Amino acid sequence: MSPDSQVSMNVVLVVGVIFSALLGVVLYMRRKMNESGNILSGSNIENLQGKIIVVTGGSNGIGKALVSELAGAGAKVVNGSRRLSELRTGPHPNVSTQNEKSERLSDNIHLDLSSFKSIETFFKEIIQKYGYIDILINNAACMGPKRTSDDNIDYCFQVNYLGHFFLSKLFINNHLKNENRTNQRLTIINLASNVFDMGSFISDNDITSLTNQNAANYTLLNGYANSKLCMILFSTELDRRYRHRGIQTIAVHPGYVKTGLQKHYPGLVGVILRCVASKLFRTPEEAVKGILFCCVREDKAALCGKVLFDGRLMEKWYIETNKELRSQKKAIMLWELSEKILESSKIASTDI
Ligand SMILES: NC(=O)c1ccc[n+]([C@@H]2O[C@H](COP(=O)([O-])OP(=O)(O)OC[C@H]3O[C@@H](n4cnc5c(N)ncnc54)[C@H](OP(=O)(O)O)[C@@H]3O)[C@@H](O)[C@H]2O)c1
């Protein structure tokens, strides 16, 4: 073999080894990122039998998988969705037993979180039908488009956070009115995300700093991150205010999941996000295990007011290092500002 071909052989060999090593690392990371392990082992999923559970945004992604799992476990699931016409088109031709169960036990009610009026109507219909609920899962979210809601608020901020704040307050008030009669507990699970780390309050007094679409640094990603930071601050403050009244609040990061969340993200960043998601992220079925864990866990005291990922507390990794999340002052400020916005809106009254 000539020295030249020997060199080319070595180059090919080195490139091959580097490529294989990189592929191995990617596949290993993919497996590590996606496996949630057997976190439900030992949990009694049958505990959910007959429970009334509300899931927002249950027609796609994580919410859809959640509705199916919960209904499969025998819960009565209310799916708050904008897509009722699609959901009522009858069973899929290849339904599995699980899906048939879900078809039988889930109740689809119209909900558009970008409208306070729609949220109020959704709540009233549920109370009229069921009287109370056991678990509220604030799951729905969007990452764009960049626009304002029906109530003239940043769309993403309202759908992801403020609409859920309003809906939760309605269920909390209903729970408090009945607490002496029913001795019932209410669990509220808020879908968070570890991108909250990219969110921040710019000014202490100005909520528009969270939502200001005209700010030079406003992007769909930081609008989304801010809304998720709000969901975590909301969870900790809700827990502080109402744990002693029988309300259990837990925030959950579901991991990176292959869903339609990035579908509105524009430009090259959007293309890259969707490509990475489709190749590397976990499936919704894998992601829901961490949420189911919070639903079935009987003793929730150690989880309340915390953020969980796959059944484990996230405090050590993120929360303790994030100054926004360590600040109770910010959580109180957000709560009060959110109430102020609801009060100033003509439609939104939480005292129903
Ligand atoms: N995917 C991830 O990697 C990831 C990571 C961390 C956290 N999360 C969180 O997980 C949760 C679920 O997201 P996903 O990934 O499953 O996203 P998804 O597939 O886009 O599902 C979002 C759901 O929210 C609903 N929704 C959007 N706007 C709504 C509105 N105005 N009113 C009512 N429902 C509305 C959607 O309904 P339509 O079908 O009608 O649009 C859909 O059912 C979100 O809270 C998200 O922040 C996701």
175 Cα: distance to centroid of ligand 1 (angstroms): 26
311 Cα: distance to centroid of ligand 1 (angstroms): 21
Cα distance between residue 114 and residue 145, in whole Å: 12
Q: For the segment 87-129, what is each residue's pLDDT rounded down to a tens digit? A: 654 444 445 566 665 666 789 999 999 999 999 999 999 999 9
Evaluate whether residue 21 is within a structural domain. Answer: no
Indicate if ligand 1 lies below 6 Å from the C-beta of 153.
no
Indicate if ligand 1 lies below 6 Å from the C-beta of 163.
no
Type of residue numbered 198: M
Indicate if ligand 1 lies below 6 Å from the C-beta of 149.
no
126: which 2 tokens? 């549920």
Cβ neighbours, 10 Å, residue 141: 25
339 Cα: distance to centroid of ligand 1 (angstroms): 24
| CATH number of the domain encompassing residue 130 | 3.40.50.720
Q: In the chain, what percentage of residues exceed pLDDT 90?
A: 47
Cα distance between residue 93 and residue 32, in whole Å: 35
Evaluate whether residue 1 is within a structural domain. Answer: no
Task: Look at residue 46 and tell me whether its pLDDT is greater than 90.
Answer: no
Pocket mutation for ligand 1, best pick of 82, 154, 273 (most atoms within 8 Å of C-beta): 82
Task: Look at residue 323 and tell me whether its pLDDT is greater than 80.
Answer: no
The parent domain of residue 54 ranges over 35-344
64 Cα: distance to centroid of ligand 1 (angstroms): 10
63 Cα: distance to centroid of ligand 1 (angstroms): 7
Pocket mutation for ligand 1, best pick of 257, 258, 309 (most atoms within 8 Å of C-beta): 257
Evaluate whether residue 66 is within a structural domain. Answer: yes
Evaluate whether residue 267 is within a structural domain. Answer: yes
Classify 310 in phi/psi space as left (phi over 0), alpha (psi -120 to 50) or beta: left
Indicate if ligand 1 lies below 6 Å from the C-beta of 55.
no
Nearest to 249 by CA among 261, 234, 263: 234
The mean pLDDT value of the chain amounts to 84
Distances (CA, A) of 69 to 65, 103, 186, 235, 307: 6, 11, 20, 24, 22
Cα distance between residue 144 and residue 253, in whole Å: 20
Higher pLDDT, 2 or 141: 141
Contact 273, 328 (CB under 8 A): no
Indicate if ligand 1 lies below 6 Å from the C-beta of 223.
no
140 Cα: distance to centroid of ligand 1 (angstroms): 4
Average pLDDT over residues 13-40: 72
Evaluate whether residue 14 is within a structural domain. Answer: no
User: Where is average pLDDT lowest: 55-69, 207-221, 240-254?
Assistant: 207-221
Evaluate whether residue 200 is within a structural domain. Answer: yes
Indicate if ligand 1 lies below 6 Å from the C-beta of 167.
no
141 Cα: distance to centroid of ligand 1 (angstroms): 4
Nearest to 233 by CA among 211, 201, 206, 256: 201
Task: Look at residue 146 and tell me whether its pLDDT is greater than 50.
Answer: yes
Evaluate whether residue 131 is within a structural domain. Answer: yes
User: Where is average pLDDT lowest: 12-16, 30-34, 65-69?
Assistant: 30-34
Type of residue numbered 109: I
Q: What is the pLDDT of residue 7?
A: 77
Cα distance between residue 200 and residue 58, in whole Å: 28
Q: Rg for the chain (alpha carbons), in Å? A: 22
Q: What is the pLDDT of residue 92?
A: 43
Evaluate whether residue 265 is within a structural domain. Answer: yes
59 Cα: distance to centroid of ligand 1 (angstroms): 9
Residue 64 CA, closest ligand 1 atom number: 43
Q: For the segment 222-280, what is each residue's pLDDT rounded down to a tens digit? A: 889 889 989 999 999 999 999 999 999 999 999 999 999 988 888 888 888 888 888 88
Q: Could you tell me the pTM of the whole model?
A: 0.88
Cα distance between residue 188 and residue 186, in whole Å: 7
Indicate if ligand 1 lies below 6 Å from the C-beta of 230.
no
Overall number of domains in the chain: 1
